[in-house]
Amino acid sequence: MAVAPSHQHTLGITRRELLQVGYSGVLGLGLPSLVKAAGEQAAPTKPKQILIVFLTGAASHHDTFDMKPDAPAEVRGEFKAVSTSVPGLHVCEHLPELAKRADQYAVVRSFSHGDNNHLMSTHYVLTGELQPGGFFDKIASRDDWPSYAGGCAYLKPRSDGIPTGVNLPTYLMQGALTWPGQHAGLLGPKYDPWQITGDPNKAEFRVDALTLAGGLDVDRLQARHSLVSNLNQQRDRLASLGVSQRMSSEQELAFSILTSSRLSHAFQLEREATKVRERYGRHTTGQSLLLARRLIEVGVPVVQTNIGRVQNWDSHSNIFPRLKDTLLPPLDQGVSALLDDMKDRGLLEHTLVMMIGEFGRTPKINKTKGRDHWGPCFFGVFAGAGVQGGQVIGKSDKIAAYPITKAYSPKDLGATVYHLLGIAPDAEVRDRFNRPVRLNSGEVIEPLFRGQSV
């Protein structure tokens, strides 16, 4: 069942969002989990960072990174496949800058799963596990699997004022539907990533969580912090109820965040040279990717940049002018600049950049000149963190309908992400009811790092 392409989303967090998922605010604060991890196994890698470029709504693989120039016209589409810097690797003609940089990334063309619903598929890709009790348009809940940032926050907690995860620049919600996969799910709101909602390309862009209230400077905040600490020490009665410990830990976290100059500077895009900002593109996509790089640079382990509003790539009609004029040019410019910038700064060595959507699009163009939802075959692009660039992993059939080589599931994507974060994918975590749960049941996509092309 297709979802209409006309989606609107206002920036900002609404009361409905608060109620639907127990959202813990842009500071990532909320009721603490009732349990701690049963134990963390050391993954066989030095921990890396993850930058997710999420093509929300699902980009067409046929018209980007898995083109079929010899297929019938109703499959082939209107775009031409062009050569890249890697012999034999072809991409869409409207991705000229990424074509020049094909030696820097690997393309996986054999991702596959069995679902065609945006919400459930988004959950699957962004958590690495199927949505518990999933059904068509099942909204986010605390029964969901944790996002990668949530799993990392749980198993690798930090207290240095740098959040474990940041999602930007939009919160995936449409009407009554809140997309799962954006939160820590069953681990509890304490481990939610930050949700930044605002356009970094606008002059008035600011993050209220990092702005002190008017008239309150850091010295005064520190004085209040000392006062609050003294008061907390007097709360023996409340301590016996287990309340003061919760409040104290949240106050400490808020204090460290508000006084973190490293983090606040990361959000100040005006500090970047004009030529750098222009290289990324003075549009939401480009400036969001630039902000993501700045957050990686200050040490945020998991940063997710949603390219567009909810279901932005969900082109059920007129897909070709939409891709050509609106979607592909800023993506091509922004991601190319991101790869160059991160390579020049030495960030790409320890950061996985992955670009992916929740599924692919149907092989055959529909009657309204669009492509519909298609889970059995889709693509992902990967760079950095030891990925061997200039290769294609996996192969689809003649119309890109199904993989004809080894298929990789979102579970394997999740195992790869956790492995790079320095977390054993099969580590045991405990939900808010103290029930043991295996974090991930996939396998690392080893060809990404072995350099084996198909």
What b-and-e string marks burial along 283-317, b requiring 16 or more CB atoms within 10 Å of the CB? ebbbbbbbbbbbbbbbbbbbbbbbbbbbbbbbbbb
Which pair of tokens denotes residue 209?
Answer: 């969580």
Instruction: Examine the fold and report which residue of 246, 264, 282 is the final residue of a domain before the chain moves on.
Output: 264
The helix (run of H) or strand (run of E) holding residue 305 is: strand 302-306
* 220 plus 283 within the same structural domain: no
* 286 plus 232 within the same structural domain: no
* 122 plus 159 within the same structural domain: yes
Could you give the C-alpha distances from 62 to 3, 81, 101, 327, 364, in angstroms and in order?
20, 10, 20, 15, 10
- The one-letter amino acid code at 409 reads S
* 114 plus 192 within the same structural domain: yes
Would residue 9 count as lying in a domain?
Answer: no
Residue with tokens 């204090």: 255
- Strand pairing partners for 361? 373
CA atoms within 13 A on the CB side of 189: 20
Would residue 3 count as lying in a domain?
Answer: no
Strand 428-430 and strand 436-438: pairing? Answer: antiparallel
Residue with tokens 């790079």: 420
Could you give the C-alpha distances from 215 to 24, 212, 226, 259, 317, in angstroms and in order?
26, 8, 18, 15, 52
Instruction: Examine the fold and report which residue of 196, 229, 264 is the final residue of a domain before the chain moves on.
Output: 264
Tell me the C-alpha distance between 102 and 381, whole Å.
Answer: 10
Would residue 6 count as lying in a domain?
Answer: no
CATH number at residue 322: 3.40.720.10
Instruction: Examine the fold and report which residue of 224, 249, 264 is the final residue of a domain before the chain moves on.
Output: 264
* 117 plus 181 within the same structural domain: yes
Which pair of tokens denotes residue 274?
Answer: 């004009």
- 411-450 pLDDT per residue, tens: 999 999 999 999 999 999 998 888 999 999 999 999 999 8
Would residue 10 count as lying in a domain?
Answer: no
* 189 plus 229 within the same structural domain: no
Domain membership of residue 170 as a residue range: 15-207+267-450
* 226 plus 317 within the same structural domain: no
Please report, in angstroms and rounded to a whole number, the separation of the first and last CA atoms in the chain.
Answer: 33
Q: How many domains does the chain have?
A: 2
* 119 plus 193 within the same structural domain: yes
* 225 plus 193 within the same structural domain: no
* 250 plus 285 within the same structural domain: no
Residue 418's Cα: distance from chain center in Å? 13
Would residue 136 count as lying in a domain?
Answer: yes
The secondary structure of residue 136, as a DSSP letter, is T
Residue with tokens 């356009």: 199
* 118 plus 45 within the same structural domain: yes
CA atoms within 13 A on the CB side of 59: 26
Tell me the C-alpha distance between 356 and 335, whole Å.
Answer: 12
Which pair of tokens denotes residue 148?
Answer: 């990668």
Strand, coil or helix: 164: coil
The secondary structure of residue 331, as a DSSP letter, is H
- The one-letter amino acid code at 130 reads L
* 24 plus 111 within the same structural domain: yes
CA atoms within 13 A on the CB side of 415: 16
Residue segments in the chain with a per-residue pLDDT below the cut of 50: 1-44, 237-247, 452-454
The secondary structure of residue 133, as a DSSP letter, is T
pLDDT at res. 122: 98
Burial of 27 (0-12, 13-18, 19+ CB in 10 A): middle
pLDDT at res. 263: 87
pLDDT at res. 45: 54
> For 161, left (φ over 0), alpha (ψ -120 to 50), or beta?
left
Tell me the C-alpha distance between 59 and 319, whole Å.
Answer: 10
Would residue 5 count as lying in a domain?
Answer: no
What b-and-e string marks burial along 344-370, b requiring 16 or more CB atoms within 10 Å of the CB? eeebbebbbbbbbbbbbbbbebeeebb
pLDDT at res. 261: 75
pLDDT at res. 46: 82
